[in-house]
């Protein structure tokens, strides 16, 4: 994946070239076939996932289908800073290529390039804040 590809992800929009270079080296690439599970609800959360190609369906046991994620979208960002179980199950709808930034790799990023780590956390928190506001609006 190139730096230009990484810039598709909103989480990395504020990173500069040197920060993207470091990040590029820390990402792990995986491919999944249609119907293959990336992870299941309750499984230990271990990092941020980025959809590079294809689409992923996410669901929970309690509420069922939550939606579909495609290229340029990211999920699981809170697991960069906290341990715990996954809140949902993710399944490839078609062949997909994903990138994962593990919690361990993120900690290395924070040590080596603190500004990049802070920018990524800010973006994750913006996403979480937006989701919480949307949920509260639905409850009101």
Domain borders along the chain are: 3-123
Q: Which residues pair with 37 in a beta bridge?
A: 91
Closest to 88 in 3D by CA, of 135, 31, 38, 42: 42
92 in Cβ contact with 33 (< 8 Å): yes
Q: If you compute the radius of gyration of the chain from its CA atoms, what whole number of angstroms results?
A: 15
Q: What percent of the chain has pLDDT over 70?
A: 91
Average pLDDT over every residue of 10-27: 92
Place of tokens 């920060």: 19
Q: Which residues pair with 58 in a beta bridge?
A: 67, 90
* Entry pTM: 0.86
Structure confidence at residue 85 (pLDDT): 85
Helical H segments across 1-140, by residue range: 3-6, 17-26, 103-112, 114-139
Q: Which residues pair with 49 in a beta bridge?
A: 75, 100
The third-level CATH classification (topology) of the domain covering 3-123 is Jelly Rolls (2.60.120)
**DSSP type of residue 94:** S
Structure confidence at residue 132 (pLDDT): 73
98 in Cβ contact with 90 (< 8 Å): no
Place 65 in a pLDDT band, splitting at 50, 70 and 90. Answer: low
Closest to 73 in 3D by CA, of 11, 2, 23: 11
Place of tokens 């973006």: 123
Distance (Å, whole) CA 124 – CA 53:
21
- Using one digit for the tens of pLDDT, what is the confidence trace for 72-112? 999 888 889 887 888 889 999 999 999 999 999 999 999 99
């Amino acid at each position: 994946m190139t730096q230009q590809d990484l810039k598709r992800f909103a989480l990395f929009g504020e990173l500069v070239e040197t920060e993207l270079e470091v990040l590029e080296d820390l990402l792990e690439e995986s491919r999944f076939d249609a119907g293959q599970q990336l992870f299941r609800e309750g499984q230990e959360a271990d990092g941020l996932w980025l959809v590079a190609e294809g689409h992923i369906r996410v669901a929970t046991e309690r509420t069922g289908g939550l939606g579909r994620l495609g290229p340029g979208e990211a999920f699981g960002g809170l697991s960069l800073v906290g341990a715990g179980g996954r809140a949902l199950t993710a399944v490839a709808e078609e062949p997909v290529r994903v990138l994962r930034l593990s919690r361990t790799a993120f900690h290395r990023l924070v040590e080596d390039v603190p500004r990049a780590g802070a920018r990524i956390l800010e973006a994750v928190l913006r996403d979480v804040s937006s989701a919480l506001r949307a949920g509260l609006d639905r409850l009101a």
